[in-house]
Amino acid sequence: MAKIVLGQRPEKFTRLVKFPMLDGTDGVIKCEFKFRTKTEYAELVDSVSKATRASLERPDGELPDYAEIMREAASKNAGYMKDILLGWDLEGEINDENLQEISNTYPAATQAILDAYRVGCIEGKLGN
């Protein structure tokens, strides 16, 4: 049994993130995540949410078009994943271009990565 030592927080945690591919098979990415406490995780989500809302606000009150919302979502998801991922077992490095590619092309992968991180930080258990 692992001994708990208060004041010695983990730096990172790893999860195998499984998600459905368009062809019906399962994709799997091994992700190494930056550890955050529950409070730190909540602060991160708040900051991402505020930034996303601010980027979609218009002075005239008009709503952005759907394509703009999707572009903004891909960009914000990429920034969020860049802030939580320390490593992965994909060939490309973790950068804006590759993260936007995943967000735009494999939306189920993006959601699974974000869900795995949330579960790790909030519930502290293995699984998606």
Give the pLDDT band (50/70/90) at residue 5.
confident
Residue 19: per-residue pLDDT: 96
Residue 43 pLDDT more than 90? yes
Structure tokens at 3: 């001994």
Of all residues in the chain, what percent carry a pLDDT higher than 70?
97
DSSP state of 61: -
Residue 59 pLDDT more than 90? no
Contacting residues for 40 by C-beta, under 8 A, at least 6 apart? 121
Q: Reduced to 3 DSSP states, what percent helix, strand and coil does the chain have, rounded to the nearest 5? A: 50, 15, 30
pLDDT digits (tens, 9 = 90+) for 73-119: 888 888 899 999 999 999 999 999 999 888 888 889 999 999 999 99
End-to-end CA distance of the chain: 23
Using the structure block, give the residue that is written with the tokens 């010695």. 8
Give the pLDDT band (50/70/90) at residue 125.
low
Mean pLDDT throughout 48-62? 80
Q: Among residues 118, 125, 119, 85, which one has the least CA distance to residue 102?
A: 85
Residue 128: per-residue pLDDT: 43
In Å, the largest CA–CA distance within the chain is 60
Q: Among residues 9, 12, 36, 10, which one has the least CA distance to residue 86?
A: 12
Domain positions in the chain are 12-123
The structure's pTM equals: 0.84
Burial of 110 (C-beta count, 10 Å sphere; 0-12/13-18/19+): buried
